[in-house]
Amino acid sequence: MTREIPRTLQILWGEAPRPGGRGLNRERIVAAAIEIADADGLAALSMARLAERLGSAPMSLYRHVANKDELLAFMLDAAPGSPPELPRGWRPGLEAWARALRDVYYAHPWILQVSDGRPPLDPGQLAWLDRGLAALDGTPLSQRDRFEVVTAVLYFVRGEAQIGAILMRGGSMEDYAGLIAHFVRPERLPALAAASDAGIFRPSADAAESSFAYGLARVLDGVSVLLAGD
């Protein structure tokens, strides 16, 4: 049975013809859409506003992008850019990969909303997955274990970015810390109250970096234990 490949993937992988015409093209449309989403959030992105940004009629966009869902798929493919070259060694390589991925989420926090944890199929995101797996070349881990390790690092980075790239934008983390301090009392939530009193919810660039570095190190420590058992 032949599986039907969605039109969007055919376009992204170069298996479908590109529309002709001068001036407006898919790359310009996607780049402008990313600029809007980065600056004002995903809710601010509409085909009408995008057409206005590009100085074209809304219907002109549909020659290159079928609908907003397809536009979002194109944005997911383009926004991360090319994955970084990684240093030698599985641990420095995975750490560099994780930090570069974190930078992508911080620069484009809307990615976390659009991707929604779905496995990627576009060439842009798969290139990042491939580079993460390549960091484990030369280790005795099976292909399955390598995939699970990279997935674990990915989940950690995504989870951290949900807080760092979204809550901390516009002072939201300060609001969160204030509400935690107001509502959390030792007699009801003693462990959380102690953490709040210690100031762990107070936003700061140093605290965010320290927390990320600590968590990533513990994840990679677990990989070291896995490797030591092989």
What is the Cα Rg of the chain in Å? 21
The span from the CA of 123 to the CA of 139, in Å, is 26
Is the pLDDT assigned to residue 76 strictly greater than 80? yes
Tokens 């030369």 correspond to: 138
Under 8 Å between Cβ of 127 and 82: yes
Amino acid 61: pLDDT: 93
Residue 6: CB partners within 8 Å, gap ≥ 6? none
Q: What is the mean pLDDT of residues 22-34?
A: 91
Q: How confident is the model at residue 103 (pLDDT cuts 50, 70, 90)?
A: very high
Are 7-78 and 90-168+203-228 in the same CATH fold? no
Under 8 Å between Cβ of 223 and 149: yes
The span from the CA of 181 to the CA of 74, in Å, is 42
Is the pLDDT assigned to residue 1 strictly greater than 80? no
Long-range interactions of 59-66: CB distance < 8 A, separation 24+: 60/24, 61/24, 61/29, 63/19, 63/21, 63/24, 64/19, 64/24, 64/25, 64/26, 64/29, 65/26, 65/29, 66/7, 66/8
CATH topology for 7-78? Arc Repressor Mutant, subunit A (1.10.10)
Detail the DSSP E strand segments found in 27-158: none
Q: Where are the domains of the chain?
A: 7-78, 90-168+203-228
CATH topology for 90-168+203-228? Tetracycline Repressor; domain 2 (1.10.357)
Query: Regarding predicted confidence, which is higher, 148 or 164?
Result: 148
Amino acid 170: pLDDT: 54
Provide the b/e sequence for 154-168 (b: ≥16 CB within 10 Å).
Answer: bebbbebbebbbbbb
Is the pLDDT assigned to residue 19 strictly greater than 90? no
Residue 46: name the closest of 63, 60, 64, 58 by CA: 58
- What global pTM score does this model have? 0.89
